[in-house]
Amino acid sequence: MEKSKTLEKIVGKFSEAVIDLHSQLGYDTVIIAKSALLEVARFLKQDPELQYNYLMDLTAVDYWKRTPRFEMVYHFLSLKNKYRVRVKVPVGGAEPEVDSLTSLWPAANWYEREVYDMFGIKFKGHPDLRRILMYPEFEGHPLRKDYPIQKRQPRVGPK
Amino acid sequence: MEIDTKGNMQTGFFTSRIDKMIGWARKYSIFQYPFVTACCGMEYMATACAHYDIDRFGAGLPRFSPRQADVLFVVGTISQKLAPVLVNVYEQMCAPKWVVAFGVCTCTGGFYDDYATVRGIDHIIPVDIYIPGCPPRPETVLQGLMLLQEKIQNQRQEV
């Protein structure tokens, strides 16, 4: 299968950071190293030809017992070209941390807070990284695969 | 209080009559506070409207401040994050007060066996009547209401 223009450009510019890439059902996916995330995102957004100016979605997946354990998933849309691209970033370690995209897309702010809340992945450079859905006293990160299903949280009294 | 020949403590004729009379008055003048959070609210509205008409039981005037209410109707799922609010509402009510758990989510948590839901509101406030069902039919609610009236009638009345 021939590579789309987006993938070709990414491979051409960040050849050492690209781990894998594929195109399925008209959806381009590129898996890149964590260290290059901010640069790739900036390139996708600011390249005059590509112009991926819209951050559609930002989430994470917990592949328990795999190394690296987590994978960040970003979906970008180019409103000009009507192209979409999916960028995945494997993140691992006891304290998973990845660069924040809030400097490029302010919309990333709440998405990243949600990922932090549910998966416990920290974002370097995030202006206000705290829980967004659960309350501050909540213990653990509920969408992690090793979160105990029967766990009860401490009761929170009236403030 | 007098002690009879068998040594049992007995309340006097007059006290027990007063208790009965106050109970009778209280059970037909229920001012409820509906704490509605979820789909059970539709069934609560159906019960309150003309077709089933809880006004027949003297409970037709919901108060929208807990400070004016006697009975707290907890209608719908209570999440961990909402629990302090519910406790706050309960503590604002003046005695004598009763609590009705309306629907299976408030009774036991229902099928929300997850990290976010309180597994039954009796973990956080005392409950007088449990009305199960998902959601309970209006007939079930009316039966619960009559059981509550019975309870109010037969209990020792604090004045």
CATH of the domain at B136: 3.40.50.12280
* Residue B94 to chain A, least CA–CA distance (Å): 17
Considering the domain boundaries, does residue B69 fall inside one? Answer: yes
Residue-wise pLDDT tens digits, B42-80: 999 999 888 998 888 888 888 889 999 999 999 999 988
Residues of A in contact with B88 (CB under 8 A): 158
> Is the distance from CB of B40 to CB of B70 less than 8 angstroms?
no
Q: What is the pLDDT of residue A157?
A: 64
A-interface mutation test, from B78, B79, B80, most A Cβ less than 10 A away: B80
Is ipTM over 0.85?
A: no
Chain A residues whose CB is inside 8 A of the B83 CB are 155-156
Helix, strand, or coil (residue A131) = coil
Residue B125 lies in a domain: yes
| Whole-number pLDDT of residue A159 | 54
Residues B133 and B107: beta-carbon distance below 8 Å: no
- Identify whether the C-beta of residue A123 lies closer than 8 Å to the C-beta of residue A99: yes
Domain total of chain B: 1
The 10 Å Cβ neighbour count of residue A39 is: 14
The CATH code of the domain at A5-95 is: 3.30.460.80
Token couple for B13: 């004729």
User: pTM for this structure?
Assistant: 0.80
Q: Kindly list the residues from chain A whose CB atom is less than 8 angstroms away from the CB atom of residue B122.
A: none
- Domain of B123? 31-154
Q: Looking at residue A2, what is its pLDDT?
A: 55
- DSSP secondary structure, A80-127, as one string: TTTEEEEEEEEE-SSS-EEE--TTT-TTHHHHHHHHHHHH--EEET-S
Query: What pLDDT was estimated at residue B147?
Result: 93
Task: Tell me if A155 and B113 make a contact (CB, 8 A cut-off).
Answer: no
How much is the average pLDDT of B108-136? Answer: 89
Chain CA centroid to CA B124, Å: 15
Nearest CA in chain B to A152: B115
Chain A residues with beta carbon closer than 8 angstroms to that of B84: 156-159
Q: Is residue B106 part of a domain?
A: yes
Say if B111 falls within a structural domain: yes
Which positions in chain B touch A157 (Cβ < 8 Å)? 84, 87
| Per-residue pLDDT of chain A in tens (159 residues, 90 and over written 9) | 456 888 888 888 888 888 888 888 878 899 999 998 999 999 999 988 888 999 999 999 999 888 889 999 999 999 988 889 999 999 988 889 999 999 999 999 999 999 999 999 999 999 999 999 888 888 889 999 988 888 887 777 665
**How does DSSP classify residue B55?**
G
Confirm whether B11 is domain-assigned. no
- Average of pLDDT values for B114-141? 90
User: Domain map of chain A by residue range?
Assistant: 5-95
Q: Which residues of B touch A (CB under 8 A)?
A: 80-81, 83-85, 87-88, 91, 113-116, 119, 123-124
Distance (Å) from the alpha carbon of B110 to chain A's nearest alpha carbon: 14
